[in-house]
Copies of this chain bind each other. A is one copy, B any other.
Amino acid sequence: MKEIKGGITAAKGFKAASCAAGIKYKDRTDMAMVYSEKEAVCAGTFTTNRVKAACVKWDMLVREKGVAQAIVVNSGIANACTGKEGFDACESVAKAVSDELNVDSDKVIVASTGVIGMQLPVDKLVAGVRTMAGNLDDSIEAGTASSKAIMTTDTVNKEIAVSIEIDGKEVIIGGMCKGSGMIHPNMCTMLAFLGSDVAITKELLQEAVSEVVNDTFNMITVDGDTSTNDTFMLLANGMSKASITSKGKDYDVFRDALMYVCRNLAMRMAADGEGATRLFEAEVVNAKCKEDARTLSKAIVGSSLSKAAIFGRDANFGRFLCAMGYSGAEFDEADVELYFVSKAGRLKVFDHGVPLEFDEEEAVRIMSEDAVTVYVNMNEGEEQATAWGCDLTYDYVKINADYRS
């Protein structure tokens, strides 16, 4: 596997476009479209929030059939808590795509991100669809522009593409995501869209997606708030002619590449959490079971107090142990070892129930890096998990104290 340039348009047959539809932001693009030349099988996961945005409800119907050919995304307004009018808006947008691109409207994925509880300006979105349909382009630049159009409080756009070989042919997976606040996915992240030119059944694709999302997007948190709009969608259009029809070596190669892509996007999403100054990783090893390892690592990166300590470069390790304690996982602190790890070094601070003396200056040095890991050895079993988050900063408060204006 090798990483290549670009994002979703790197995969064969995928085109993208973006435009400034004037939905809520001024002087920036706020709509993106992705189009596959051929119909693609699709697999995805959605928010577990009981309050689901209208577009999530729409996309769940698309996923059920498992075939898609276009994605339309807007930023600015989330189209959540908008009742029947919100669902009708999804239908109007899909219908516009259908008219422009001769795609069945039930094969159009729609997604929104932004303020909850506000109706979409449907006319603007339909006009945006028309503009974008005329500008679809398979260049890397078009993919990048579309990844920028779906940003809200994100500070950087996030895309990636990899190339693998399956069945003697090159297969590409490319994708983009956005997400900065209200990030505590419990299915997937805020919004992530991937395209691949592999040929695969929708059942195998869904299986790979579910497995990968659990270990990547579902292991990040920014603020513990599970959005109403979380959507992960992968379209596979088969244009590489490389085909996966059953589990085995080829499936594994594809799944591993998908894991790489999703982990990369998920970590960048965590690092770009609202107001974040650094990536905060928790690696829990030798846990009794996989579920415990996941629970413990997510509790560590999810704790406000832990996140504030990471911001302050304060090796206040008791907060991490405290978070593990209320996570719900069973363990005995007398078994636990805890380290702070970064590029600058590795420092043990807690050993089998006993706090260690350590050099505070060394701790600050380690915690000053862009990425800081809390490494916890449970000494109880053989399972491990990694979760990603970010620090809690003044800017998180600033961004969210008046997000609507």
Interface size on A, residues (CB 8 A): 68
Q: How far is the CA of A118 from the CA of B117 in the complex (A)?
A: 47
Q: What secondary structure prevails in chain A residues at the interface with B?
A: loop
Q: Are A308 and B401 in contact (CB under 8 A)?
A: yes
How far is A401 from B319 in the complex, measured between Cα atoms in Å? 12
Would you call B401 and A331 a contact (CB within 8 A)?
no
Interface segment out of the listed A74-82, A171-179, A283-291 = A74-82
Q: Are A319 and B355 in contact (CB under 8 A)?
A: no
CA distance A104 to B315 in the complex (A): 39
Copies in the complex: 2
* Minimum distance in angstroms from A51 CB to a CB of chain B: 3
Contact indicator B397/A392 (Cβ below 8 Å): yes
Given contacts A51-B325, A322-B49, A325-B49, contact A334 B304 (CB under 8 A): no
Q: What is the distance, in angstroms, from A155's C-beta to the closest C-beta of chain B?
A: 18
Q: How far is the CB of A217 from chain B (nearest CB, A)?
A: 15
**Cβ of A404: which chain B residues have Cβ within 8 Å of it?**
314, 316
A121 within 8 A of B: no
**Docked CA distance A82–B396 (Å):** 33
CB-based nearest B residue for A310 = B401
A326 touches which of B48, B317, B324, B353 (Cβ 8 Å): B48
Binds B, one of A139-147, A193-201, A218-226, A261-269: A218-226
Chain A 303-325 near chain B by CB (<8 Å), digits 1 or 0: 11100110110101111011111
Q: Are B117 and A321 in contact (CB under 8 A)?
A: yes
Per the bound structure, the CA–CA distance linking A83 and B404 in Å amounts to 48
A81 touches B350 (CB 8 A): yes
CB atoms of B116 and A321 under 8 A apart = yes
Interface string of A386-405 (1 = CB under 8 A from B): 00000011101110111111
For residue A282, give the distance in angstroms from its CB to the closest CB of chain B.
15
Interface residues of A in 254-303 (CB under 8 A from B): 303
Nearest-neighbor residue (CB-CB) of A303 within chain B: B225
Contacts A51-B324, A304-B304 aside, 7 further interface pairs with beta carbons under 8 A come to A51-B321, A224-B303, A225-B305, A308-B403, A314-B401, A316-B403, A393-B397
* Interface, chain A (partner B; CB < 8 A): 47-52, 78, 80-83, 85, 115-119, 181-182, 184, 186, 223-228, 303-305, 308-309, 311-312, 314, 316-319, 321-327, 329-331, 333-334, 349-350, 353-355, 392-394, 396-398, 400-405
